Amino acid sequence: MTIHGTTDRSLVAPGTHRLPTKVLRLWHINTVLTCLVLGGVIVGIARWWDHPVVGVLFWPVVGLVGLVGVADLVFGNLLRHRHYSYTVTEQEVYVAKGLLIRHTMNLAVPQILSIHVISGPLQRLFGLASVRFTCVVEGESLGPVPAHEAERIKRVVLTGLEGRRQESALTKQSVPSNRLGNNPVMTDTVGSA
């Protein structure tokens, strides 16, 4: 079933493409860097705040940050990677992600206002980029995916948009219009006044 140019899918339907394994390495580096920065800030506060009770309470928090970081490295990133898939056609962009909380995005290409290929320093290091779709209501992202895949996705969506624009232009040319709309009764009424 198609609604506004998109395919009706179930909430558990995976896309046809998966993220490359380089993304998993990128997420691991992001987790380690986040834990190091967060742990460093907590240790700095604990050393600066020389209170006998509060200073002692910060060390378990540092351990908790490390434990959460290890759990994210071992389980979180792997599960996030395994349960992320997408499909891009000239008619739609479909993204399915998440295991416990399933997030699906089914975006009709005609609803897309702009497409941005974004690649931060770590993503560029791995040859990856994210694709950001801006719509009337909100924006959605896909990726990171390999940079060449991001450019392919952008090309496919732009081709679909161009096809829809040409189709729309042909439709407008074939239907006569007037300043009050396409209702001939209204045209006759206005013309006889």
Q: Are residues 96 and 172 in the same domain?
A: yes
Q: What is the pLDDT of residues 122-154, one digit of tens each?
A: 999 999 999 999 887 777 888 899 999 999 999
What mean pLDDT value characterizes the chain? 80
- Cβ 142 vs Cβ 86: under 8 Å: yes
Query: CA-to-CA distance for 14 and 120, rounded, in angstroms?
Result: 27
Give the range of the structural domain holding residue 123, as residue numbers without chain letter: 86-176
pLDDT of residue 117: 94
Query: Of 82, 115, 134, which marks where a domain is finished?
Result: 82
| Tokens 């179930």 found at | 10
- Within a domain: 188: no
- Residue 121: which pLDDT band, with cuts at 50, 70 and 90? very high
- Within a domain: 118: yes
Cβ of 22: how many Cβ atoms within 10 Å?
Answer: 16
Q: Are residues 90 and 63 in the same domain?
A: no
How many domains, the chain?
Answer: 2
- Cβ 86 vs Cβ 95: under 8 Å: yes
CATH number for the domain that contains residue 128: 2.30.29
Q: Are residues 172 and 117 in the same domain?
A: yes
**Strand order, beta sheet including 103-108:** 17-18, 84-88, 92-97, 103-108
